[in-house]
Amino acid sequence: MKDFANQILQAAAIAITGHIHPDGDCIGSCLALRRYILDNYSSKQVDVYLEPIGSEFLFLDGASGILSECTEKKYDLCFVLDCSSEDRFTPFADIVKCAKTVICIDHHISNQGLGDFCKVDAKASATCEVLCQIFSFDKISTACASCLYTGIVHDTGVFKHSNTTKATMMYAGSLLEKGVDNAKIIDETFYQKSYVQNLVLGQALLNSRLTANGQIMFSSLSAEELEQYEASSADTNGIIDQLRSTKGVETAVFVYPLKEGGYKVSMRSNNKVDVAVIAQKFQGGGHIRAAGCTLYHTLEEIYQKIIPKIEEQL
Ligand code: 5GP
Ligand code: MN
């Protein structure tokens, strides 16, 4: 990535953005890159653009300065992180479009190439792991390392998903050496749930259905239910993992309403089903064992469309 350093050196104003409904890897990678540039390249102006982030991530360096509204500012360089396609950064499309140079760094198998330079490693557990490959390790500060570690923790489900490799663990180990508070990051950003989040999880479990001899677990929450618990879509994080880890389940599907309309469909599989292929059939994307899409149908229609595609593979 000689281009990476050259492009930063040539740019004065740099924007960084990631995908809609930012998760731990998206937030971690954007903030890690910001910190790395500020630490190692003098007099750069770096702005991070993301939709509002969960309060559990606010302790990360630079989190409170994230811009959540698009501006008309023009940038010399724009980084697009953890995004597999253009529809994933729509709120900030103008920032990306108007930048002189766009660099995409990602780990989604469905990424067909974005921007002027694109680095995609589908074997990397997280975009934060791809950044570990690109950054000079001796130039990573504790603050930057904490952001990188957060991203890896979230996209690997705390080092337990099948995307966790020897390289993932080696990078995570090196980040620990930088002074990362791993217990705080794992407990407070991954496992800790608010009371509302627990209520919503309980409702989702009550709403769930098992099919295909218990190999598929489907659940959904309605807009009315989210309203009843005064929950936002961010409060549904983690529900899909509870479905997936149910004994006998190979593939889990969780569906919730988006405030902008339509339903978000999240899919996870354990060993057999390629959920990225299914998501792509519905204009979504992701990874083999974790993928998603947005559908504009009723909950029952979504069930009827998605379940047969999983059964075909089973
Ligand atoms: P999640 O279910 O956690 O929202 O997403 C799982 C994975 O699939 C993530 O890596 C996410 O980036 C990807 N993904 C989720 N929804 C979409 C979508 O609508 N389009 C694309 N291209 N990828 C998605
Ligand atoms: Mn990711």
Judged by phi (left if over 0) then psi (alpha if -120 to 50, else beta), residue 104 lies in beta
Average confidence (pLDDT) over 149-166: 96
Average confidence (pLDDT) over 143-152: 98
290 CA from centroid of ligand 2 (Å): 10
Q: In the prediction, which pLDDT does 233 show?
A: 84
User: At 280, is the pLDDT very low, low, confident or very high (cuts 50, 70, 90)?
Assistant: very high
pLDDT tens-digit map of 69-128? 999 999 999 999 999 999 999 999 999 999 999 999 999 988 999 999 999 999 999 999
Contact 218, 259 (CB under 8 A): no
pLDDT tens-digit map of 186-202? 999 999 999 999 999 99
132 CA from centroid of ligand 2 (Å): 13
Domains of the chain plus CATH, in order, are 2-191 (3.90.1640.10), 195-313 (3.10.310.30)
Q: Is the CB of 107 under 6 A from ligand 1?
A: no
Q: How far apart are CA 159 and CA 175, in angstroms?
A: 14
Bridge-based pairing of strands 13-17 and 45-49 is parallel
12 CA from centroid of ligand 1 (Å): 32
Q: In the prediction, which pLDDT does 77 show?
A: 98
Q: How far apart are CA 62 and CA 58, in angstroms?
A: 8
Contact 223, 257 (CB under 8 A): yes
Atom of ligand 1 nearest to the CA of 265: 2
Q: In the prediction, which pLDDT does 306 show?
A: 98
Count of residues in the chain: 314
Q: In the prediction, which pLDDT does 2 show?
A: 76
Task: Specify which residues 100 forms β-bridges with.
Answer: none
User: At 66, is the pLDDT very low, low, confident or very high (cuts 50, 70, 90)?
Assistant: very high
Q: Is the CB of 293 under 6 A from ligand 1?
A: yes
Closest residue (by CA) to atom 13 of ligand 1? 286
Whether residue 228 has pLDDT greater than 80: yes
Nearest ligand to the CA of 289 is 1
Judged by phi (left if over 0) then psi (alpha if -120 to 50, else beta), residue 21 lies in left
Average pLDDT over the chain, rounded to whole? Answer: 96
From the CB of residue 251, how many other CB atoms can be counted at a distance below 10 Å?
Answer: 29
Q: How far apart are CA 203 and CA 274, in angstroms?
A: 27
286 CA from centroid of ligand 1 (Å): 5
Closest residue (by CA) to atom 9 of ligand 1? 286
Q: How far apart are CA 28 and CA 248, in angstroms?
A: 33
Q: How far apart are CA 127 and CA 237, in angstroms?
A: 19
Whether residue 33 has pLDDT greater than 90: yes
Nearest ligand to the CA of 124 is 2
In a mutational test of the pocket of ligand 1, which residue from 27, 81, 90, 108 has the highest number of ligand atoms less than 8 Å from its CB?
108
In a mutational test of the pocket of ligand 1, which residue from 128, 266, 269, 274 has the highest number of ligand atoms less than 8 Å from its CB?
266
Q: In the prediction, which pLDDT does 254 show?
A: 98
User: At 259, is the pLDDT very low, low, confident or very high (cuts 50, 70, 90)?
Assistant: confident
